[in-house]
């Protein structure tokens, strides 16, 4: 017997919101299911995993489909360092479960982020960083007015089956004019 499964309408069936305290454990569980690699051969060490872990100082915007978290944006607020102030900047990182790539979820997340940031008039610059070969992410951010500010040579070192490989990063940013 064939099941008549209703297709998902990503515009209507998802909800996007700020992560609430009571959702924190569910979010941490979701983070543990996301593969943080380019392919199955890339090994992450403990320091790598700590960089992807939940951080109390960040804000998170999550995407929920039915009852499951399927994507998020981490918002990292810049702190005062060595006399240089960067409180006017945030850095964002987006992650969407692989099976939902290309479905408009990244666009929905970035739209939500930009509306949310309007309430924070002190934010003037949004920064992001990604692998240079992640063309889908680069195109997504460019479609929202982000521009490449730098190519970061050998930004990441990947360990693939006892072989090290360096990958360039792309630094992108958007200036917010209120």
Question: pLDDT tens digits for 119-159?
Answer: 888 889 999 999 898 899 999 999 999 999 999 998 888 77
Question: pLDDT tens digits for 112-124?
Answer: 999 999 888 888 9
Task: Find residue 161's DSSP bridge partners.
Answer: none
DSSP state of 119: T
Percent of the chain predicted with pLDDT > 70: 79
Q: Using CA of residue 144, residue 150, residue 151, residue 155, what is the dihedral sign?
A: negative
Distance CA 69, CA 77 (A): 23
pLDDT score recorded for residue 72: 93
Closest among 86, 93, 150, 82 to 124, alpha carbons compared: 86
Question: pLDDT tens digits for 53-85?
Answer: 567 778 999 999 988 999 999 999 877 666 667
CA atoms in the 13 A half-sphere facing the CB of 54: 16
Burial 2-29 (b: 16+ CB within 10 A, else e): eeeeeeeebeeebebeebeeebeebbee
Q: How far lies 115's CA from each of 61, 68, 97, in Å?
A: 12, 23, 23
Strands (E), the chain: 14-18, 42-43, 59-65, 68-77, 89-96, 125-131, 147-160, 163-175
Enumerate the domain spans of the chain: 10-127
Quote the mean pLDDT of the chain.
82
Query: Does the global pTM surpass 0.75?
Result: yes
CATH architecture of 10-127: 3-Layer(aba) Sandwich (3.40)
Question: pLDDT tens digits for 95-107?
Answer: 888 888 888 999 9
């Amino acid at each position: 017997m064939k099941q008549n499964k209703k297709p998902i309408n990503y515009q209507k069936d998802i909800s996007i919101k700020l992560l609430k305290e009571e959702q924190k454990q569910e979010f941490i569980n979701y983070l543990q299911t996301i593969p943080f690699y380019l392919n199955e051969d890339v090994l992450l060490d403990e320091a790598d995993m700590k960089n992807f872990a939940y951080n109390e100082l960040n804000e998170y915007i999550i995407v929920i489909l039915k009852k499951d978290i399927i994507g998020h944006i981490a918002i990292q607020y810049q702190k005062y360092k060595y006399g240089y102030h960067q409180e006017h900047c945030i850095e964002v990182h987006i992650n969407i479960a692989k099976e939902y790539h290309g479905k408009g979820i990244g666009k929905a997340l970035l739209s939500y982020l930009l509306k949310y940031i309007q309430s924070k008039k002190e934010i003037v610059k949004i920064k992001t960083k990604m692998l240079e070969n992640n063309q889908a992410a680069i195109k997504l951010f460019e479609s929202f007015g982000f521009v490449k500010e730098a190519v970061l040579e050998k930004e990441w070192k990947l360990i693939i089956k006892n072989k090290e490989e360096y990958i360039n990063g792309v630094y992108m940013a958007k200036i917010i004019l209120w």
